[in-house]
Structure 1
Amino acid sequence: MALTLEAEQRLSEVGLVELFDGDRPAWLDAAQQTKAFIAGNFPEGARIRRDDVAKALIPILEVNEVLKDALHEKKLRGKFWIKDFADLIIDRTWDEL
């Protein structure tokens, strides 16, 4: 699901928007690599949607040390934080993908 205002506000309140902004090129690279992987494995001519990329990006974010450290430091344990962060990345980089 695409980034909602509520999710963006929640991410902002805990500093995860700042985390994204602090190393935007790295998050963009992760999104670009994820989209390229999907493009190479989806049926030819299939339209790739934001949620397709976000869904594939989540497992990558689950093991990303920078994000894991930030979540741990802020004591954010819910899985929705990673999903919302994936949606934030896709929302902020989609035009460059």
Structure 2
Amino acid sequence: MALSLFELQMIRRGKLDIFYERNQGYWDELSAKAYVFAELNFIAEDEDYVIHAEDAAAFLMPVLEVNLGLSHYLGVTKLREKYWVKYFCDYILDRYMEKIQKGTLKQPASIFPSHVLPP
């Protein structure tokens, strides 16, 4: 699901936007890998289908749920509810796509060597 205004407000209240800014490159890399992984693993009936944030979130959420840095930050700031990880996932995917659309970041062609890709 795309980032809602409510989620953005919650992210700002929990200062997760500042947490994101401290390591933008890392979060962008995770987002890029999630998009590429979704692209390689979803079978779309329409060849022109574009991977959406919701598709990438399916792969990124499990990674964020066990991410030590995020877990530590959420624990220290007492943001213990599970929805914080989902909000952060939506937030970093939103920021990543914003950079792609503005042209300030290039979307990777693939994260896998060509010999590993399925035929």
Q: TM-score, normalised by structure 2?
A: 0.76
Quote the offset at 1:55 in angstroms. 2.3
**Count of aligned residue pairs for this structure pair:** 97
User: 1:32-52: per-residue Cα shift (whole Å, max 9, x none)?
Assistant: 111111111112634311111
Identity fraction in percent:
33
Quote the offset at 1:18 in angstroms. 0.3
2:31 pairs with 1:26? no
Where relative contact order (Cα < 8 A, 6+ residues apart) is larger, the structure is 1
The runs of 5 or more residues in structure 2 that have no matched partner are: 108-119
Find the structure with the greater CA-based Rg. Answer: 2
What's the counterpart of residue 7 of structure 1? 7
| 1:60-79 mapped onto 2 (5 Å cutoff) | 60-79=63-82
2:57 pairs with 1:57? no
What's the counterpart of residue 81 of structure 1? 84
Q: SS of the counterpart of 2:43?
A: coil
What's the counterpart of residue 95 of structure 2? 92
Q: After TM superposition, where is structure 1 displaced by more than 6 Å over at least 4 residues in a row?
A: none
Q: SS of the counterpart of 1:77?
A: coil
What's the counterpart of residue 42 of structure 1? 42
Amino acid paired to 2:96: T
